[in-house]
Structure 1
Amino acid sequence: MQNLVFSLNVVAPVFLIIILGVVLKSTKQINENFISISSKIVFNVSMPALVFVELSTADFDASFNVKLLAFINVGTFVFFILAWILALVISKDGRDQGSFIQGSVRSNFVIVGFAIIFNMFGNSGLSKAAIMMAFIMPLYNVLAIVALTVPLHKEKQVGFKKTIWEISTNPLLLAAVLAIPFSLYKIVLPLVLSKSIEYLAAMTLPLALIGIGGSLNFESIKKDSRLAVIATAIKIVLIPLVLTSLAIKFGFRGENLGAMFILFATPTAIASFVMAKAMDCNAELAGNIILLSTLGSVITISSGIFILKSMGYF
């Protein structure tokens, strides 16, 4: 019973804020313009502040784990290839294939994942999550571009230099790179500056979670959702089940295992819809995957935390 209560206490607050976003949107307390602007603030300002705060104050040597970083990147890449093969089998439409592949592997780790990890492990877990984010985010971006262009034979339209520039100027990645020297050399910012950054960081998760709730489109799911259901099953059931089991076999335990499970189990990233729409793939399918995986992950993440906690893995 204690482990069940722990699981609910970790997951429920996150999804209650997402539900609040749904309610606020349906009652017209917020609109698309608010969601768009707040998302930009989160991505460009407050989330980088959160990443900087957590990494700059962390014990980098203790949090940096090469074996863990290699595992999450290799595991993600392997499932990307498997999702691609499956997409070729179940759909002949390149627009569907791109959205399916991306939706099957790209996690909403930075928003939903960070919130859950903070509830599970506090700041020490969040520091590990920030390092994981810094190394998995570039891979997510590259794989997303490949998935959304190659099936439509548009890979030549997306220049290599442009791709590298977009990845290297990602605000979250820049914040992580900037924070590392502060962590390594124990540099302390002036109190006024550090407090200001902490205030920005503190508004990240509530604002981002409300934005996710406001972005969910329940109307589109009424249409054909076979591909969305399959992609969702891969994202929130198959990937966390297989990769977390392998992680246990490889000896991962405690906060490291917990953070890895959340990375694998979090629902599909909202950014997958934006990119699918921008690159002329099936944006409706991308939206359906986001919706189904977000709703389904309430059960799968809670169950996973309960099982792992009960078995003494963290």
Structure 2
Amino acid sequence: MTHFLTAVNAVIPFLIYMAFGYVIKASGLMDEAFMKRLNSLIFQAFYPIMMFYNLYQNAGVHLNMGKLVLVGMLGEIALLALLMLIVPKLEKENTRRGVLIQAIYRSNFVLFAVPLTENIFGASGLAMTSMMVAIVVPFYNATAVVILEYFRGGKLELGKLVRKVLTNPLIFGAIVGGIFILLKIQLPECIEKPVSQFSALTTPLALFILGGSLQFSSLKKNLPAIIPAVSMKLVIVPAVMLAVSIIAGMQPLERFVMLTMFATPTAAASFPMAQNMGGDGKLAGELVACSTTASVVTIFLWVFVLKSAGLI
């Protein structure tokens, strides 16, 4: 019963935030244009503060992340390589190939990993999660641009790619947090308090907007592609990586952080990116919507199983 309640407490807040956003959008209190502006505001202004504060508040915590970084990133690279080989054999349209690949390997790691880890391990797990976010996000951003550009038949400009990664608000927040830690800069209490409160606002707001953005307009047509992609994203790939983490002898926190890299839903950013880079925007949006909705169940089951098995 204890493990069941732990799983419920980890997942139900996500469901409430998203359901509230969906209901508010359906009621007409906010429209598409408002959601896009608010989403941009959260990404540009709130995420950097969250990244900064998650690192700042854990200054002095010793992190041994070599195994997590090595296994996690090798897993991401291997998964991406396999998808680049397999998906083009199963899907004939270039506009859908990049979208499907992105949906399976690119997780909403930022939005789900930090609160999930905090729910299970408390504040002590935030530093490791935030450092992994700072490593994984540039990888996601860079490879997603390369993949979508490749299937569009365009030419990749390395300078623009590097600039886009370095100016990502999440990376900026992590860099500033790292500077504060290295220089041992202490914020005055009157500044630290609002910074912590802005950081705490980020996840509820982002999940609220995600819930309001869920779209299922052409679901029936795309279902033959969505079902296997979401199954791979939320069940098959996480199961393989969980087995790898056990073989590699990871500690519970390391194992859970890596699991959130692979078991969380498709990144919300994959939808606008596909729209703007010649991909099938409707398919991308529905993959985000379906994986996000299904993840409420699958994440609950992952947490329950791992807790029951004593793996986290």
TM-score when normalising by structure 1: 0.95
Residue 109 of structure 2 aligns with an amino acid whose one-letter code is: F
CA distance in 2, matches of 1:67, 1:260: 10
Residue of structure 2 in register with 1:236 after alignment: 234
The correspondence for 1:174, drawn from 169, 172, 179, is 172
Amino acid across the alignment from 1:188: Q
Cα distance in 2 for residues equivalent to 1:312 and 1:217: 37
Q: Which residue of 1 aligns with 2:245?
A: 247
Q: Hey, what's the Cα distance between the residues in 1 that align with 2:46 and 2:217?
A: 31
1:15 and 1:121 mapped to 2: Cα distance? Answer: 20
Identity %: 33
Q: Distance in 2 between matches of 1:249 and 1:159?
A: 39
Aligned to 2:101: 101
Structure 2 Cα separation of the partners of residues 27 and 160 of structure 1: 44
TM-aligned CA deviation for residue 34 of structure 1? 2.3
Does 2:63 correspond to 1:49? no
Instruction: Report 1:53-72 matches (<5 A).
Output: 53-59=53-59, 62-72=62-72
Matched position secondary structure for 1:62 = coil
Q: List structure 1 runs of 4+ shifted beyond 3 angstroms.
A: none
Structure 1 residue 76 corresponds to structure 2 residue 76: yes
Give the residue type in structure 2 aligned to 1:116: L
Q: Give the conservation status (yes or no) of the 8 Å contact 1:14–1:116.
A: no
Size of the aligned set, in residue pairs, is 312
Match of 2:293 in 1: 295
Q: Please state how far the C-alpha of 1:308 moved relative to its aligned partner.
A: 0.9
> Could you say which residue in structure 2 is the equivalent of 1:210?
208
| Cα separation, partners in 2 of 1:44 and 1:60, compared to 1, 3 Å | farther
Letter in 1 for 2:243: S
**1:177-196 residue pairs with structure 2 within 5 A?**
177-196=175-194
CA shift, 1:55, in A, is: 0.3
Question: Any gaps of 5 or more consecutive residues in structure 1?
Answer: none
Is the contact between residue 268 and residue 288 of structure 2 (CA under 8 Å) also seen in structure 1? Answer: yes
* Amino acid in structure 1 at the alignment position of 2:176: L
1:146 maps to 146
Asked if the contact 2:67/2:250 (under 8 Å) is kept, the reply is no
Taking the TM superposition and a 5 Å limit, the aligned residue runs for 1:252-263 are: 252-263=250-261
For 2:38 and 2:117, how far apart are their aligned partners in 1? Answer: 22
In the TM superposition, what whole-angstrom CA distance separates every residue of 1:118-160 from its partner, at most 9, and x where no partner exists? Answer: 2112222222111000001111011101211112221x1x311
- Any idea what SS the aligned residue of 2:249 has? coil
Report the Cα distance in structure 2 between the residues aligned to 1:86 and 1:228, rounded to whole angstroms.
16
The letter of the residue matching 1:308 is: L
**Alignment of 1:2 onto 2:2:** yes
Cα deviation per residue 1:55-85 (whole Å; 9 max; x = unaligned)?
0121465235122112111111111111122
The equivalent of 1:308 in structure 2 is: 306
Q: How far apart, in 1, do the equivalents of 2:236 and 2:182 lie?
A: 37
Mapped partners of 1:176, 1:135: distance in 2: 10
Cα distance in 2, alignment partners of residues 64 and 39 from structure 1: 34
Which amino acid is 1:196 matched to? P
Aligned residue for 1:211, secondary structure, equals helix
- For the residues of structure 2 that align with 1:96 and 1:60, how far apart are their CA atoms? 46
8 Å CA contact 2:148–2:277 kept in 1: the answer is: yes
Flag the 1:181–1:299 CA change in 2: closer, same or farther, 3 A: same
Are the aligned partners of 1:95 and 1:152 in contact in 2 as well (CA < 8 Å)?
Answer: yes
Q: How many Å apart are 1:109 and its aligned residue?
A: 1.1
Shift of 1:112: 2.2
RMSD: 1.4
Counterpart Cα distance in 1 of 2:32 and 2:123 = 32
User: Where does the alignment leave 5 or more consecutive residues of structure 2 unmatched?
Assistant: none
The letter of the residue matching 1:233 is: S
Distance change in 2, residues 1:288/1:163 (3 Å): same
